[in-house]
Amino acid sequence: MLKSKLCLVLSMLGIMAFLIGACASEAPSEVKNAADARDAAVTNLQKHESQNAPSSDIEWQEEDITPPGLVGAVTKKFTSDEWTIRVSYPVVLPENTVYQLVVSSIKLGWHWKGTVEFDGSVTELTAFKQMSKEESQRIAEEFVKNSPTFIFDGIEDTVRLTETLTARCPYCWVFIFVFDCSSAGYGDRTGQATTQVITPHEAVVTVEQLEITSAVMDEQWDVISQEMISEGDGEPEGAFTVAELLENQVYDTEVTIWGEVSLLGELFCPCFELSSGGATVQVWYDLMVENDDTERSSVSVEGFSNSDTVIITGELKGEGGVYYNKGDFWSSVVIVLSPS
């Protein structure tokens, strides 16, 4: 009888020890900070990728890498000898916080991305996988095809990889793709002035440890921020001011200018004024008829209004004709740079 009771007690102790050990390896039931989110992600990886996931006994070094001046969000980095975990989250009530995590190892070559919520639930965004050039290329191509420029009117069978460059950091590559769109311009051009013409593009996409870090189209469009790339003085790269256009007049030749729109809808013509650099030019968007009666395609002006900053591709007309004056600017493409 005594022996039976002793066995029962020992069995109960064994079960309790097992339960305690199991609970110790579980993720926190409530995620209240970045460290809790890190632990939840690691526990989730251990359940599904036990052989390759970070171990539970790692001593992490924590660092706040939030960009200076950024308000309303925090990014923490946890590092060990082999692993790095980056945790980003908004500054809101804990129960409303969704943590964005990237788990990676330069030494071992692994990468994972996911989210962790307040209740400890983990959602996988990118599977736990080895970093490689092939996977990086797939991510870059998918990024190009999912960009607003391509989604708007990209021609599917024209996407082609032309060059792959190895960057200086581990698991880093630069992929150069070319593709065609059926109209000019960048981004989602719904409601904007566009010209229906097959337009070639080149996209240079940098992938570092399976993360897109840079994507530039035609050396002038930032695909990530969806805006034109400006020079240090705030002027759009590759575009002239109106003052520069008029100082170096080249007639009947395609050129790109930028400036602020005014008098749109106020003149007795399908035209408006564009000003920059202290000079103004009259820009036509319809009724552009050559002396031989050839009529240019009209350009929609529904996508912008007075006081907007726009980039316009077109040409400065030379000797006056029957339907136009010398110095008129005929537009072919208008891109809104900065709405008022």
pLDDT in tens, 195-225: 678 999 999 999 999 999 999 998 888 999 8
Task: Please state the rounded mean pLDDT for residues 256-283.
Answer: 93
Q: Regarding predicted confidence, which is higher, 235 or 241?
A: 241
Percent of the chain past pLDDT 90, that is, above it, reads: 60
Rounded Cα distance between 339 and 210, Å, is 34
pTM summary value: 0.62
What pLDDT score was predicted for residue 178?
97
62 and 139 share a domain?
no
Query: Above 90 in pLDDT, residue 322?
Result: no
Amino acid at 200: P
Can you tell me the distance from the alpha carbon of 314 to that of 163, in angstroms, rounded to the nearest whole number?
Answer: 31
The answer to whether residue 10 is domain-embedded is: no
Does residue 139 share a domain with residue 100?
A: no
Tens of pLDDT, residue by residue over 67-97, are 888 889 999 999 999 999 999 999 999 899 9
Q: Looking at the structure, tell me whether residues 122 and 172 fall in a common domain.
A: no
| Rounded Cα gap, residues 187 and 153, in angstroms | 10
- 300 and 273 co-located in one domain: yes
Cα–Cα distance measured from residue 136 to residue 222, given in angstroms and rounded to the nearest whole number: 19
**Domain-terminating residue out of 102, 130, 158:** 130
pLDDT tier at 339, thresholds 50, 70, 90: low
Q: Are residues 121 and 206 in the same domain?
A: no
The answer to whether residue 19 is domain-embedded is no
211 assigned to some structural domain: yes
Please, what is the Cα angle at 38 between 35 and 43, to 5 degrees? 125
> Do 219 and 272 have their domain in common?
no
Q: What is the pLDDT of residue 54?
A: 94
CATH number assigned to the domain comprising residue 257: 2.40.50.140
Domain boundary among 207, 228, 249: 228
Domains contained in the chain, number: 3
Query: What's the pLDDT at 22?
Result: 41
On the question of pLDDT at 292 being above 80, the answer is yes
Question: Quick one: average pLDDT of 103-113?
Answer: 95
Does residue 192 lie in a domain region?
yes
Residue 17 lies in a domain: no
Strand order in the sheet with 211-217: 160-166, 172-181, 199-208, 211-217, 221-222, 227-228
Residue 235, domain member (yes or no): no
pLDDT interval class at 231 (50, 70, 90): low
Q: What is the mean pLDDT of the chain?
A: 87
Domain termination residue (choose one: 74, 107, 130): 130
Residue 20 included in any domain: no
193 or 140, higher pLDDT: 140
Range of the domain at 49: 28-130
Domain shared by 96 and 107, yes or no: yes
Q: Residue with structure tokens 């566009």?
A: 194
pLDDT of amino acid 203? 96
The continuous run of DSSP H or E covering 272 comes out as strand 271-276
Flag whether 11 is in a domain: no
